Amino acid sequence: MIDVGTGVESGSARTGRPRLTVVSGPSGVGKSSVIDELRSQAPDVYFSVSMTTRPPRTGEVNGVHYHFVDLGEFRRMVDDGEMLEYAQYAGNYYGTPRMPVERALAAGRSAVLEIELQGARQVRESMPEAQLVMLLPPSWEDLVERLTGRRTEDSELVRQRLDTAQRELAAQTEFDATVVNADVRSAADELVRLVTGHGSK
């Protein structure tokens, strides 16, 4: 049984008890941007690399941003119990490989999963001590602007993601903490405190 820890008073991911933090938030809120900043501020933290059936975007590297797999391989991992959680999102499957997360926690490293709402709920069920954090946009208008401004999805996919975003924002009360991403650096600073144990849970 992995101890995901609570009440850690230390600022280091390698001291105190390791904790698992789930970061969720609507598409376009700035999860990747904030987590990139967090990565540089918290080098001891393990960041999970998800499996996905979504095709890579320009600039995305297999094994770094995601493990890009076909549906057959994804299903095999689910069937073999290799996923900590998984979900279907905007027509594709996404899942967290279980083993690397369990290894990191067992080795005393805190870990971060950047996943959507259904996955966050599954982690809450299977690892109740995990800390759930939702990243919020300063306003709905900001979210729409960021998602459309990124130009990685066509208008139908943007519409789907905004529909899902409304449901995700409505679920923020299920989360232990919320962080408003008005500014990437400040949001990452707040997240560092939560992930490394200076947070509220």
Ligand X SMILES: Nc1nc2c(ncn2[C@@H]2O[C@H](COP(=O)(O)OP(=O)(O)O)[C@@H](O)[C@H]2O)c(=O)[nH]1
The candidate with the shortest Cα–Cα distance to 104, out of 151, 164, 35, 47, is 47
In the complex, least distance from residue 121 CB atom to ligand X, rounded to whole angstroms: 9
- Phi and psi dihedrals of 15, rounded to 5? -115, 160
- Phi and psi dihedrals of 160, rounded to 5? -60, -45
Strands 111-114 and 20-24: parallel
What is the distance between the alpha carbons of residues 1 and 12, in angstroms, rounded to a whole number? 23
Residue 184 assigned to a binding site: no
Residue 72 assigned to a binding site: no
Query: By C-beta, is 17 or 150 nearer to ligand ADP?
Result: 150
Q: In what order do the strands lie in the sheet containing 92-97?
A: 67-68, 51-52, 92-97, 83-89
Q: Contact with ligand X (CB under 6 A): which of 95, 137, 197, 199? A: 95
Site for ligand ADP in 129-158 (CB under 6 A): 146, 149-150
175 secondary structure, DSSP code: S
Q: Contact with ligand ADP (CB under 6 A): which of 11, 166, 183, 198? A: 183
What is the distance between the alpha carbons of residues 71 and 74, in angstroms, rounded to a whole number? 5
Among all residues, whose Cβ is closest to ligand ADP? 30
10 secondary structure, DSSP code: -
Residue 63 assigned to a binding site: no
Q: Residue 74 corresponds to which tokens in the numbers above?
A: 């994804």
Number of residues interacting with ligand X: please give it, by CB under 6 A. Answer: 17
Mask of contacts with ligand ADP, 22-61, x by CB under 6 A?
---x-xxxxxxx----------------------------
Q: Contact with ligand X (CB under 6 A): which of 116, 190, 192, 196? A: 116
Site for ligand X in 18-47 (CB under 6 A): 27, 31-32
C-alpha neighbours within 13 Å on the C-beta side of residue 30: 23
Q: Contact with ligand X (CB under 6 A): which of 87, 127, 143, 165? A: 87
The candidate with the shortest Cα–Cα distance to 195, out of 12, 2, 1, is 12
Residue 181 binding ligand ADP, by CB under 6 A: yes
What is the greatest pairwise CA distance in the chain?
46
Residue 114 binding ligand X, by CB under 6 A: yes
Span from 10-18, 69-77, 81-89, 178-186 in contact with ligand X (CB under 6 A): 81-89
Residue 108 assigned to a binding site: no
Q: Which residues bind ligand ADP (CB under 6 A)?
A: 25, 27-33, 146, 149-150, 181-184
Annotated binding residues for ATP: 25-32
